[in-house]
Amino acid sequence: MSDNRDILLTEVALRDGSHAIGHQYTVEQVTEVARALNDAGVPYIEVAHGDGLAGSSEQYGRSLTDEMKLIEAAVSVCDQTKVAVLLIPGIGTMNELKQAAELGAKMARIATHVTEADVSPQHINLAKELGMETVGFLMMSHMAPVDKLVEQAKLMESYGADTVYVVDSAGALLPNEVRERIRALRQSLTVNIGFHAHNNLSLAMANTLAAIEEGATRIDGSVRCLGAGAGNTQTEVLVAVLERMGLNSGVDLYKMMDLAENIVAPILTQPQEITRDSLVMGYAGVYSSFLLHSQRAAKQFNVDSRDILIELGKRKVVGGQEDMIIDVAAEIANKQNSLKV
């Protein structure tokens, strides 16, 4: 595998994409996708429940398959590609991180809300002790002013993170806002800068290119856009765009196209596109993984899912507060019923 890449890609369909299919990945699917990504030369692939290690629960959604079996399956077919895991402190624990490392995971992405980096030091420290490459993942980055983002990124750097990511969890950032954030981190940190986009406003590619132009060298993508909400930056398209720009990702474009068409497309329960609900998520700044939860709640209470999402945005609800979705849906239904009376 080439060591002189301009951009290092992390493929997130086997983690972020778990949201889109209700966490129903099988060992066979993960094995086939991971093998193909390894063959295409993708440097990192992230494997876990959509909400990270130990995410399988009534709150976040039950996994069909134990994520450790999925991690083990991916590692078993990757001789070039490194397997990464996501851990959100408070959901995942040190024990799951140790278990993932024992199974062969080589990168730990420690994710916190953009203003809560101070909950991550013990997990970042443990990852370093386990010999893992370590990433600080600042979620919902649109919710903090730039100076606060810089402050939190510096904390993650001080804890030992090798890379710090600006994470547009809601797909709410505009290209100029991405530029401002990446530029500020580039000027303030000495570690690698990464960017993770969502496509809820159809800006994932534009935002990713803005991040690269400002100095981000670690970029996330999801093959066939398989990710939460309207998905992430589409990996096979990004590989093509980087080639057109004269940037080296080291990834085989034809193999990525074939993987997207022949292996990942059949996994999708429906095409990844910008629907009215995913559009509202970007518009209102709502966590992308809330999509299926909000649709189920809307059906249960016979209300408009868009009303739920707009209200969640007004309340600045973040990942980990999925229980609020039911509460909001019930409140909207009660208001509607009282107006009818």
pLDDT exceeds 90 at position 320: no
Residue 196 among known ligand-binding residues: yes
Strands (E), the chain: 8-11, 44-46, 82-87, 107-113, 133-139, 163-167, 192-196, 218-221
Domain 8-267 has CATH 2.130.10.10: no
pLDDT per residue as tens digits for the range 245-294 = 999 999 999 999 999 999 999 999 888 999 999 999 999 999 988 988 99
Domain map (residue ranges) of the chain: 8-267, 276-340
Residue 276 annotated as binding? no
Indicate the pTM of the whole model: 0.94
Query: Strands (DSSP E) along 140-272, which ranges?
Result: 163-167, 192-196, 218-221
Give per-residue pLDDT as tens, 185-241.
999 999 999 999 999 999 999 999 999 999 999 999 999 999 999 999 999 999 999
Q: What is the fold of 276-340?
A: Helicase, Ruva Protein; domain 3 (1.10.8)
Q: Which of 19, 23, 49, 113 is catalytic?
A: 19
Annotation-wise, does 2 bind a ligand? no
pLDDT (0 to 100) of residue 1: 42
CB 295 within 8 A of CB 305: yes
Q: Is 169 annotated as a binding-site member?
A: yes
Is 49 annotated in a binding site? The answer is no
Q: For position 125, what pLDDT does the model report?
A: 98
Domains 8-267 and 276-340 share a fold: no
Say whether 23 is catalytic. Answer: no
